[in-house]
Structure formats: structure tokens, C-alpha cells
Amino acid sequence: MDNPPTMLGRKGLIRKHEFVRIIIQCLYTLGYKESAVCLESESRISYKSMEFGLLESQILNADWDGCIHNLYGIEDLMDETRSLALFLVFKQRLLEYLSRGDDSSALAVLRKQISALHLGSEKVHNLAFGMLSLKEVGLGKIDDDVIHELRERLLVELEKLLPPPIIFPERRLEHLVETAVNAQIDSCIYHNSFDMISLYQDHHCGRDQIPTDTVQILMDHKNEVWFVQFSNNGEYLASSSSDCTAIIWKVLEDGKLKLKHTLQSHQNPVSFVAWSPDDTMLLTCGNAEVLKLWDVETGTYKHTFGGHGFIVSSCAWFPDSKRLVCGSSNPERGIYMWDCEGNEIKAWRGMRMPKVLDLAVTPDGENLISIFTEKEIRILNVGTNAERVISEEHPITSLSVSGDSKFLIVNLNSQEIHMWDVAGKWEKPLKYKGHKQDKYVIRSCFGGLNSTFIASGSENSQVYIWNRRSPDPIEVLYGHSMTVNCVSWNLKRPQMLASASDDQTIRIWGPSPSRKTQPEKLV
């Protein structure tokens, strides 16, 4: 009867034999061959199992019969895995027969041994075709060095194919440590830093990793501020207001914002803005009005979209910065795709097209997501025209898409935010609660490192922040005196957040001063 394995760790979950094997593999991988050999000798534990060590010797010495017998003798090996391993060995054997001109032996391997594996006629035919092709191009003899290299490649393929404990995945210790680090990061609700994680201690972030304190108040708008959005490169912020203007702000090196351009051309309040993916252009939308295109660097007006009965309700860019889509609040108008000169590229309109309340294009350009009839989310694959509709029970007021194109969030007037996956694998959304919303359009956004967080405005003058894994807010930010309509997280500065309010101000939020020097006067 075998002795029970020696176990390690406070909970006794780690087999010592496996642990040492993985350490030896790591030493070899890191180039510490002498240390690995020393540990193998001292522990009497080999990195390679007896079965694989024997296979290695047989393959490198062309003992094909012994290798085949060895593979058939390995217990607990699935039939499919055994057949695939034998196929690789037979293929190498066949190639070596061909290289020395022994066509009859090669043909015998193909007909008798490979065909008997029942891996499918296509695999056998492809190998036969390859054999004939090699003959036609005059393969001839292969020198010993090439033969040895091919055998080494065969061993690498078998390492990937054969299961533990015969062999285990490469860089196994690194994988286990990375998994442990990722688990600690995932359990850290405030993780929001590019800093490297140390292995010397367990990882834990404090709330000073996310924006919780007002670091600047922007007061240049003369009426309610309805919308804010940082540029994709994080160097600018755009805002729009019921004072009929939009403003482009420059984010300075020290994190302060400075007014760059005031855009004045709309006759109605400006309801939202949209940055081109390359950040050279900005779209501004007048409330129940037209859409205007601006040059970011000069602040000059370039083009007007809409008009003639086309009332723009929402818009979004495609990743090439050459195409944009606009939705109309007029059901007969639907959705238009234009180029930057206003030429129509495509349109979705007709009897089935209700009015469009909001829309977005995923950053990868694959999906056009629209909000219809207040309670429906339509996801249209632009390439295939495949369409999926998600129905909500309560009216939707706004839509936002994650930077990796995998998720979307919608604000509902039931005082919830729902997150759905774009691919359609989820049957139910993840839900976030705590903010106040039942009368106005409130906008939320993804943000922070890897879009880990969700932020939203609220009708109670506060800003709410959630970690995506939890339905309850982890922070509530105070400072505004009226409804917070919109928030935007800086994509390149994960600790910078902007909020727009009916109190006519924009607040820039940053980490608690506990990590930084006290900010200057809030102007």
C-alpha cells in the first residue's frame, strides 16, 4: 500500500511532490538549469514524469516501436488523446522514412498504422497529399540536425497534448501566482492603479485609489450643464449646456482643466457631445435641433447634419473617425449613417423603426446599439445585420458602452442601472441601485482601470460610484447643489472623474489628498 502523500500549506491542500515538480519546471524555464538539476537530485523528484522521460528518450533515439508501445501502455489516457499522440508519432516516423527514401515503409505506416487510428479520412488524405507533395518537390535526404530539431518539435507538441501528471502546462508556477494575484485584485473593490502588484504582501487598495474629492470646479457655463465627456486620449473634456453652448477644456499636465474653446452656433440648448475616436473632431447636438461638427484644435465649425425635418436625438462615431450615425426622435426618419461631409452612406428607416432615444457604436465598430420605444435595447451587428432585442420593464433614459465593447449599461427611471453583455450570453442583467432617478435623463458611464467601475449622476445632487461586481455603491460624492445629469471618467487618467449639474457647474473629482498634496483653491 502506497504511503499517503506529504501535504503542505496551513490547510494541507498542496501535495509536496507536485509542488516541487512545479518549482523545478520554473527553474528550468527561468534558465537556472544547475539549480533545477540540484533540486531534482536532492528531492529525488524529476520535473518530467517517468512516462514522459521514457517517451523523450525513445523519440530522440528513433525507437518508434517502443514509443508506440509506451503510449498504448499509459493508463487513464482518453482514447482521443492517445490517438492524436500516436498520429503525431506516426507522422514523424513517416517523414523520416521518406527522407531516407524508404517509400514502402512510409506507405505501410500510412495505410496500416495511421488509418487504424480512425481519426477521419480527411486527416489521412491531407497527410497522404503532403507526402506526395514532398516527393514532387524532391525532398531528398534531411541532415541529422534537421531530424533532431523535428523530433524536439514533436516532443513540444506532445507536451501540449498529454495531460497531467504525465506532463503539466508550461510556466505552471507563474500561472498559479498570476491567478492568486488576480484573485486578490478582483476582491479589492478599490483597485484602480497601473502600479505593479508586489508578491511580498497581500494586495489591498484604499479608497484613495478612486476619485472621491472635488479638485476643481468649472463655472464658465451660464445655465444648467447637461453633458460632459472626456476625449478618448484623455487630454480634453467637452461639456454642453442649456445656455446653448458647448465648451472644450484642455486637461493640463498637473491635472487642472483650462478652457480652450467655447462653441457658439446652436439656437437651442446643447443636449450632448460626441468625440471622434481620433479626437480631432467634436459633434454637438442642439436639443430638438441639428448636429454640428467642429474642429477640436481650432474650435471652428465644419458642417451641419440634420435639418429639413430630421431632428437629431443621439449620435455616435465609428472607429475610423470617418463615419457617424445619428438617431432621430421622428419615427419616420430612423437612423442615418453619414460621412463627415454629410453624404448619406446608409439608413435604417421605415414602418418598423420607432423613434430613437439614444444610440452607441461599440468601440470595435461591430455593433450599433439603440434605445427604442423607451424600453427596448436593439443590438445590430453592422457586418452581418444580425439583430437582438433586449426588453426592459421600465423606461430607459440613457446608454453607455464599455471600452472593451463587451458590456453596456442603461439607466432606468426605476432608480436602477442595468448592465448587459453585448454578446447575448446573459439571461438577466447585473443591477446597480442607490442613486435617485425618476423624472430626468440621468447618464452613467464605465470608468477606472479596465472599466472596473460604474459612475452615475443622480437627482439628489450626488455622484454614485459602484464596483461592477457589487450592486451597492462603494462611494457617494457630495458637492453639487442640484441634479447631476451626467458623469464621465477619464480613459487615460483612471483617477479623474467629471460631473455636470443643473447647478451650472462641472466638478472634477480626484483621489483623496491623503496620497497627494492639498489642492489649490477650487477655481
Residue bearing cell 465627456: 229
Work out the pLDDT band at 120, boundaries 50, 70, 90. Answer: confident
- For 234, 246, 343, 468, 512, the CA distances from 301, given in Å and listed in that order, are 22, 12, 17, 39, 39
* C-beta separation of 470 from 430 below 8 A: no
Query: What are the φ and ψ backbone dihedral angles of 184, each rounded to 5 degrees?
Result: -70, -40
Q: Which fold has domain 222-510?
A: Methylamine Dehydrogenase; Chain H (2.130.10)
Window from 79-88, 147-156, 507-516 with minimum mean pLDDT: 507-516
C-alpha cell at 141: 535526404
- Give the pLDDT mean for 452-461: 97
CATH 2.130.10.10-classified regions of the chain = 222-510
Beta bridge partners of 358: 371
Q: Rounded to whole angstroms, how far apart are CA atoms 27 and 33? A: 7
The pLDDT score that the predictor gives to residue 133 is 65
Q: Say which amino acid occupies 172.
A: R
Q: Rounded to whole angstroms, how far apart are CA atoms 379 and 330? A: 20
- Give the pLDDT mean for 426-441: 94
Residue bearing cell 541532415: 143
Q: What is the 3-state secondary structure (H, E, C) of 204-250?
A: CCCHHHCCCEEEEEECCCCCCEEEEEECCCCCEEEEEECCCEEEEEE
Residue bearing cell 451626467: 486
Work out the pLDDT band at 378, boundaries 50, 70, 90. Answer: very high
The pLDDT score that the predictor gives to residue 142 is 72
* C-beta separation of 477 from 457 below 8 A: no
The pLDDT score that the predictor gives to residue 518 is 39
The pLDDT score that the predictor gives to residue 360 is 95
The pLDDT score that the predictor gives to residue 2 is 56
Q: Which residues contact 83 (CB under 8 A, 6 or more apart)?
A: 117, 118, 119
- In angstroms and rounded to an integer, the radius of gyration of the C-alpha atoms of the chain is 31
The pLDDT score that the predictor gives to residue 115 is 81
Q: How many CB atoms lie within 10 A of CB 49?
A: 17
The pLDDT score that the predictor gives to residue 503 is 97
Sheet strand arrangement including 236-241: 225-230, 236-241, 245-251, 257-264
Please give the model's pTM, rounded to 2 decimal places. Answer: 0.81
- Give the pLDDT mean for 175-200: 91
C-alpha cell at 93: 516516423
Window from 204-218, 326-340, 480-494 with minimum mean pLDDT: 326-340
* C-beta separation of 506 from 227 below 8 A: no
- Give the pLDDT mean for 207-230: 96
- Give the pLDDT mean for 377-388: 93
The string of pLDDT tens digits covering residues 386-397 is: 999 999 999 999
The pLDDT score that the predictor gives to residue 477 is 97
Q: Rounded to whole angstroms, how far apart are CA atoms 157 and 142? A: 21
